[in-house]
Structure formats: structure tokens, C-alpha cells
Structure 1
Amino acid sequence: MTGALNVIEAGPEHAEQVVDVIHRSFGARQILDPPSTAMDETVESVAEVLGSAGGLLVERRGQPMGALLFDESRQGLLGLRRVSVDPELQARGVASAMVGVAEDTAEERGKDGIWLHVREELPETVQFWTRRSYLPVGREGPLIAFAKTLWLSREVPTPDLMKDLARRVERLLHRGDLLVLSGDLGAGKTTFTQGLGDAMGVRGPITSPTFVLAREHPSLVDGPSLVHVDAYRLGSPDEIDDIDLDAVAQNAVTVVEWGDGMAEQLNDSWLWVRIEVRGPRPIDPLGTPHEGDLDDVQGEDIDPRVVTIKPRGVRWAGVPLRSTVLADSSD
């Protein structure tokens, strides 16, 4: 079969096609105990869901190939139900296409993430969702609850707005959290960290720790301290162990600049923050880029930054990242 997949937003008028795909998909599965209730779906029950929460239908040349139903019952999250692919049309990218559109739909609806249930007796299905960065966050009988927090990217044109972005991120942070910062020299990683420190109420000043590798900034407000690490001069991930962060990391928020491939071993969950410069990077009078550049330049010398924040690990599953960071972004 040739031709592109067409993923459409399904409405009540598509209920007959959707329920047919659901029945064919779930009917071909192994016998489960207790059995799935998907076979109880009717055109009427599916039409009701499609008329309220909505869903997706995948077609190729007019032939229905896959479908799913949305669930709006959890605040800030978009649920996926009855994820179905015609058993005779497997391994054609149908499920992956639906997931991609579902994630776009969640973003368009202002959701922070996605959740769904997967039967533990279906290891291939579990593996499918795991490969797409969905994480198990709970269990309800034979059902494994999976969740994924959506990442975000936004333009940050000035140092003040970079610090404001960091202050918004700080609202989500707890003791023991890890942030891995990446970006070119002079992109603004230290500026971002300064915004975090301001919001956390730690002792300053916060400057690039390049020559000391790590600095601990104790809290002035009975909160967690901020541990600021620069991994730029480390030759391998093993060298980060020499800094001996274990003694303080559990009771601190740890920020590691140049931490890609280095700092992830410190925690099983982290926030990955990538700062990209759109335009020529500012250079100091000696011709050497340095991390303070975003603070030092003014006016037309400032090039917009694009900051991308991606959650990694169970700690960030279900966290309202987008709604917190992007709330009142015009202020």
C-alpha cells in the first residue's frame, strides 16, 4: 500500500469508522484477564466522546488504519484511550503518527503533558511507549499508568527576560533537583543560573565557576542551597565524581553548565536546558567568548536566545512545566 498517512481530528461523524478500528484492533489481541472493555464500545459511546473530548482517525487513501480517543478528565493533561491500529496494517508507522499528532494537540490545547494506561501483559505495547519517552508513574491493577511532560522552546531576547524565565522554572524546583545546561560560550547559562539564584534567595554573587569547578550558594531564606557546577574543563563523566557532589546534592538544587553527557549520572531525573544564540555571538575585547557576555552587552549587541527545556525522568512526569513557565509570558 502506498500513499501518505492522513491523521485527522475525528468528530462524531467518524464514530462508525473509529469504533470499527477499535474493535478490530482489540479483538485481535491475546485474551486478557480481566478482559478489556474496548469491545463494549458502540457507535453511540464513541460518538459521545468524539463530540466532547475528541479523538484521531488515521486514513490512507480513504481506508481507516488507526484511531484513538482523547480524555480531558485530568486537569492540565490530555489522556489517550483506545489507541488502536488495524491488525492487518501493523508496522506502517500508524501508531507513531497518531502519537505525534496527539502531542501537538495537547500543546495546542494548553496541556502540560499526556497520560494513558497500558496493560502490563502487553510487553510490546509497553516498549512502544517507553521508546517515546513515556514513563511509568503508577499502577492500577493490571494497568500501568504512563505519562509524558511536554517540552517547550521560546525566544528570550534580553538578559532580564532570561532571568525571568529562570525564576519561572524555579517555581517547580525541589531539593535534590538537577538542571543540565548546555549552549555555546556566552549564550547565557550563567545569566539563567543567576535568575534561579535570585528566585531561590541564595547568597551571591553567582558568577561562572569555571576556575573552581563548583560553588555552593547557601540559602538565605531557609530553602535549598544552589550548587553551581561548570563541567567545561572535565575530560570525562568519571571526573564529575571527583567534585564529590553527593554530600550536598540531595539537599540542594544543582545546576551543571556544559553538563551534556557528564551530569546525567548524578540523578535519574533532570531538566535539560539548551540555550542557543540566534545571530553572531558577542565577543569580549580580547576576542575570547565568555559566559558573562549576555550580561555585559547592551542594546543592538544583544542577539536573541532560544531556550529549550526538556524534562527527563519520572520526577518530571506530570509536572506543569509549560503552564508554569509560559504563564503570563507577556508580563
Structure 2
Amino acid sequence: MTEQNNTTHRLDRVELGKGGPLVGVQGLGCMGMSEHYGAVDEAAARETLEAALAAGVTLFDTADVYGQGKNEEFLAPFVTAHRDEITLATKFGIERNEDPTYRGIRNERAYIRRAVEGSLRRLGVDVIDLYYMHRRDPAVPLSESVGEMAELVAEGKVRRLGLSEVTGAELREAHAVHPISALQSEWSLFSRDVERSAVGAAAELGVAFVPYSPLGRGFLAGAFADAAAELSEGDFRLRQPRFSGDNAKANAALLAPIREVAAGRGATPAQIALAWVQQRAQVHGLTVIPIPGTRKPGRLRENTAAAGITLTAAELSLLEPIAAAVAGDRYPDMTFTSVVRES
């Protein structure tokens, strides 16, 4: 690793939405600490949580669907130990059952009520700092689902509201029912769909943007030309279009300019990808808090160091064409993303 990568960067703070609490300019996605990326070393994952807090990360992101509740339970001791130092975000809206391939979307009032009570119990808290609708069911009016979320705020169970994978029009509609503090959607050098309408709406409304998968599920940190050989059994990326076959080979070739910029700075490709997200948001006049996920303290320190990198106009120009050339969709089924409803 370079000297830069070995140095813990103490993060600056930004508002989590207009008038919201100050949080570190980079958060931590905790999903992989429970599932989807192969076997988990729990001790290393807990060490990573502490390393994140030491680096100035204060926004910790989970969801009731991660590990079917196990991720919230895993985080509970850390949350209890540091409750006044962190901003805790969780989500509802994706339903699973005994079929490991099943994903349902639930936004109705009664479901939201059950979901928040379950999350509060598993996390061991009295109030959730930021509560997201994880996915939108277009069959349920936003006035109903966001209206119920607003009731949770009024009752003191939730402090602030967020949405995930919604269009700009949906964000505006929801914000008119109750102020939305954060929009969490995929945004990276590989995925720029949100720039069509959601980014502009968030900037206009003063909503913080929380990019998930800012490293393209790890692809932007290194080439996955042969996912079957490079990823462990149980890693969900083995089923992702961008990691499969000819798509993976084509996408690996797209990393060349990222590597070029990284080499010129003594940085890593992951750091350049994270720095790009931060600066791209500034172009739009937007507060951005990316939440790269990791289970390793060393990778955590590498990620947070990216917040100290400012790319030049020439470097940004070199990186600009990448997204347009990416092969494969973000998910095998794009039904529940904002892309489908926007198109």
C-alpha cells in the first residue's frame, strides 16, 4: 500500500439533509458483514466498525432484509456502545421468505408498522435516526407509505426519513408529504442512471444523496475478468450481469483509465472511484455521503483516505466515458429500480 493508503483520514462532516445532523462525509454500508460476499470473519467485521468510528465515519447503514434481520442484530452491541456518537440508518420494504431467490416489495401501512417495530427490537434502540423505504411499490401511493413513515416520526420511533431507488418525480412527491432527508441509490463510475432526474431533484430539495455500491460492488477496486475463479462460493456477485462472462471481461478493460489516474497519484483504483463520486456530486451542488461496504479495517482506512483526494479536470475528463461503455445491467432483474419507472 502507498503511504496515503496507510494514513487514516479523519473525515469532514456534512449535513444529513437540510437542517439535519452532521455526519462524516463517508458512511459505512454494513450489509456484507452478514451475507452476500462469502464467509464472514466476525471479529474483523467488529474491528472494522470501530476503525470506521475512529476515522470519523458516523453514518452506519443496515436494513431489515440483510441476513433477514441478522445484520441489525450484529450491529446492536456496537450501536449500544456508541449510541450518542453515530447516526443509525436502516430500511424496510424488501420481503424475503424461505425461497432464497424470492424478493417481494411491501410498502403498505401495516407492513411498515410491523417492520419498524422489528428493527427497533433487533437494533436494541428506542428510535431510528434515518428510516428508508428500501424499494418503491408503485401500486401503493406515496401518500400512504410516506404518510405512515411520517406517523413514525410524530410518534418518536424515527427521526428522519429516506427513500431508495426512486425517480426525481417520486422524490418530489414524497417530499411534499413529509421532508425527506436522504436519497440512497446506486451511483458510481459504472452506474450514473441517477443523474437523469434524481440527483437534480435531491439538489433542489436539499436532500442528501447516499450512493450505495460506489465501488460497483467491488469491481472498481480491481478487475473481475473471471468472477467464477475470483469470487468465493455464496458471493451474490456470481449472479450479477456485470460480473459474468464476456461482460466481466469487457468491464475489466474499462478500468484502465482509473488505474492510470491511481498510479499517477500513488493511490488505489478504489480511492479514485470514491473521489469521483464526491466531486461529481459537487458539480450538481449536492451533499453526498457514499457508503462503501467493507469488512476489513485496512480497506476501511483506504476508503476514508479517498475523501482527501481532489481530482483534476484532466483526470475527470479521462474518467468521464466509462459509464457509457459498461456491459450488463446492475441486477439480473431491474424491475424494482428507478430506471424502469423512469423509462
Q: TM-score, normalised by structure 2?
A: 0.25
| Higher radius of gyration, 1 or 2 | 1
- Of structures 1 and 2, the one scoring higher in RCO (CA 8 A, sep 6+) is 2
More strand by share: 1
More helix by share: 2
